Structure 1
């Protein structure tokens, strides 16, 4: 399936309503997802430290085993990141945000724009970022259902998250404008979790 075919299929699966328009669609970046969600850099550091310690104590066999184990683990994690990125699609319309996700079992989650109270942008560098969404009112979204498209450690009140997005600040502004076009529903201001200042558009109230 080509990249464009996947775009078209994601929209078709959303079953758009009458006069509903697609504003934006995108997917996680595989390399950033591997680093951010599957902690590949941390794992590489861990096995590297074990290998260096083995060398320091003259245990070359142990060092070789650590290197091989590290390569196998990293290969598995990168494969999972590739599968997660390949099976994920985010579609924003003028009425809702659609998350088509699921590495093993495909799921389609619809978030009406009127239910999105706030967005939190985390800057991951090089224009990439995560956008966590605060949902207004009760919902039945579980952490396991959303993972890895969920804000880490928010187990009791899961927050959907658009992960490892290229041009994340631009996407956040598009999302903010789409939500602002919906009838006001007592929203919060969009904030940033990143050390760097958030883009201007993200500091404005959604409605």
Structure 2
């Protein structure tokens, strides 16, 4: 029978049930294809092997017939195809293992295929968010956390803003409908951060003003 590796989760994508008053507003995962292209550089890898095979064929064509030169270069295309298939498989596994969750109080990220971790980011820890919108509506929402909140770039990759290693920015990477998700996140964060706080006063002492 199939085994669900995340069957222990009381709520999908979360290590425990949300406390009273917290509501899940959105859940999603990366597009595996966009993850392969943007995070794993699928096009660059494919282009490298194609260029290398073309160069090998051109050099070999000086010493043998063209079709023989193409045959000599073909192993590089086979290796390139194998590498691209591996990258796509990694992207599929990463996307399947990932769940991004936005609630009215926090952003939660269940990430990692081999070693699964869950990042809980209350809105008070998030100082800024930026949207990198791509063609087709997919995009990445990077979260800038407050100065005292630090994350490991290696442990959270590829769910980070690329090349921000000094102060790692966790990111909802390559998600479909990114513009709508960014709007929802902005509204939820604003509502939570600027929520009025009512301080409870217990047994205030009466104030006595002496008559003059």
| Range into which the TM-score falls when normalised by the shorter chain | 0.7 to 0.9
1:199 is matched with none
1:60 is matched with 70
SS of equivalent to 1:34 = helix
1:91 is matched with 101
Q: Aligned in 2, Cα 1:11/1:72: closer, same or farther, shift over 3 Å?
A: closer
1:121 is matched with 131
1:154 is matched with 164
Q: List per-residue Cα deviations over 1:8-34 (Å, max 9, x = no partner).
A: 842553421112100111000011111
Q: Are the equivalent residues in 2 in contact too, given 1:10–1:91 (CA < 8 A)?
A: no
2:65 is matched with none
Distance in 2, matches of 1:97 and 1:11, equals 11
Q: Aligned in 2, Cα 1:103/1:12: closer, same or farther, shift over 3 Å?
A: closer
Distance in 1, matches of 2:13 and 2:44, equals 36
SS of equivalent to 1:181 = helix
Could you state the TM-score of these two structures normalised by the residue count of structure 1?
A: 0.82
For residue 183 of structure 1, report the CA deviation from its aligned partner.
2.7
Any unmatched runs of 5+ in structure 2?
A: 62-68, 196-212
Q: List per-residue Cα deviations over 1:58-104 (Å, max 9, x = no partner).
A: 23354111111101110111111111101100011111110000111
Distance in 2, matches of 1:40 and 1:11, equals 27
Distance in 1, matches of 2:178 and 2:111, equals 19
Distance in 2, matches of 1:64 and 1:177, equals 53
Q: Computing the radius of gyration over CA atoms, which structure comes out larger, 1 or 2?
A: 2
1:133 is matched with 143
Aligned residue-pair number? 184
Distance in 1, matches of 2:16 and 2:175, equals 20
Query: Which of the residues 48, 51, 54 maps onto 1:49?
Result: 51
Distance in 2, matches of 1:141 and 1:56, equals 48
1:39 is matched with 41
Q: Are the equivalent residues in 2 in contact too, given 1:127–1:168 (CA < 8 A)?
A: yes
Any unmatched runs of 5+ in structure 1?
A: 186-207
